[in-house]
A = this chain, B = another copy of it.
């Protein structure tokens, strides 16, 4: 069949595949940084796209937002100061603030319009924006990290668009060096790292760059995400010290997070790597 104009389609040229949702466009604007569009889909609720790429849908964002936050927060011994780079839809910030140990969470988003549109179309993701521990800062995450005092952050969450356009610098050695410096001794960084099926080379390059920047070890976790290319997504965790991650939260504490996907078993499961992925990551160890 051919999809007519009643569908939104994102095609990934390099992968020759596309994902589509039956949808009507209800808003579009060009900001100084990117083109943002809002769609009312038939079965996935609202959808935000940036420069033609799916960002967030009402129906399946819980998968991404839970897995970008809770595995890393659960792996840090005392995550008090958290910084989200990107994440303008505020869904990541919301999950971070579910953790009572977090004393401050700063969202550093370059494009204020992403947040303002999220407040309008995804209010459930913004319901913790008024938390006294939250700061919404609109500006360049790369510069922000350069200016961050040494050892001042426990967890950096890089919740960015793909590594092209405004987000490209967030996947590079120089940025990671600033992150290592800004992290406290036990500090962790977690970053969305694309599809294990389509982007394995990017993932291994990221892990190499993280280690060259001074991180002691890196880890990969994976999860389903329907609206992203291949329907399968990953996040990479880099730790400043040590070589393994240990979950801190007990079952009761995890239950209080009120999650739909994440739980103690999923925490372990997400780090279990497919053989071909483990082989690729083992090959760069010691580089």
Which residues on the B side are within 8 Å of A270 (C-beta)? 269
Is A138 part of the binding interface, using a Cβ–Cβ cutoff of 8 Å?
no
- B269-A272 in contact (CB<8A): yes
- A268-B268 in contact (CB<8A): yes
- B2-A5 in contact (CB<8A): yes
Q: Which residues of A line the B interface, CB within 8 A?
A: 1-5, 7, 9-11, 14-23, 41-44, 52, 59-60, 196-197, 222, 224-226, 230-232, 259-263, 265-266, 268-270, 272-276, 278
Which residues on the B side are within 8 Å of A265 (C-beta)? 272-273
How far is the CB of A75 from the nearest CB of chain B, in Å?
A: 17
With A2-B4, A3-B11, A17-B19 as known contacts, state yes or no: A261 contacts B232, CB within 8 Å.
no
- B19-A44 in contact (CB<8A): no
Closest 7 CB pairs of A and B: A231-B231, A269-B269, A16-B42, A269-B272, A16-B43, A224-B232, A265-B272
With A224-B230, A226-B230, A272-B269 as known contacts, state yes or no: A17 contacts B2, CB within 8 Å.
no
In the docked arrangement, what's the CA distance between A265 and B259, Å?
23
- B5-A1 in contact (CB<8A): no
Which residues on the B side are within 8 Å of A230 (C-beta)? 224, 226, 231
Given contacts A224-B232, A268-B268, 15 further A-B contacts (CB under 8 A): A2-B4, A3-B9, A11-B22, A16-B21, A16-B43, A17-B19, A17-B21, A18-B20, A225-B231, A226-B231, A260-B276, A262-B274, A263-B278, A265-B272, A265-B273
Which residues on the B side are within 8 Å of A7 (C-beta)? 2, 11, 18
How far is the CB of A280 from the nearest CB of chain B, in Å?
A: 11
Closest to A230 in B: B226
- A274-B266 in contact (CB<8A): yes
With A60-B197, A259-B275 as known contacts, state yes or no: A3 contacts B20, CB within 8 Å.
yes
Partner of A16, one of B44, B52, B263, B268: B44
In the docked arrangement, what's the CA distance between A225 and B196, Å?
12
With A2-B3, A5-B2 as known contacts, state yes or no: A20 contacts B17, CB within 8 Å.
yes
In the docked arrangement, what's the CA distance between A262 and B266, Å?
17
How far is the CB of A23 from the nearest CB of chain B, in Å?
A: 8
In the docked arrangement, what's the CA distance between A282 and B197, Å?
32
How far is the CB of A21 from the nearest CB of chain B, in Å?
A: 5
How far is the CB of A70 from the nearest CB of chain B, in Å?
A: 11
A-B contact pairs, 24 of them (CB 8 A): A1-B10, A1-B52, A2-B5, A3-B3, A3-B9, A7-B11, A9-B20, A15-B43, A16-B21, A16-B23, A17-B20, A18-B20, A20-B20, A60-B197, A222-B224, A224-B224, A226-B231, A232-B232, A260-B276, A261-B276, A262-B274, A263-B274, A265-B273, A266-B272
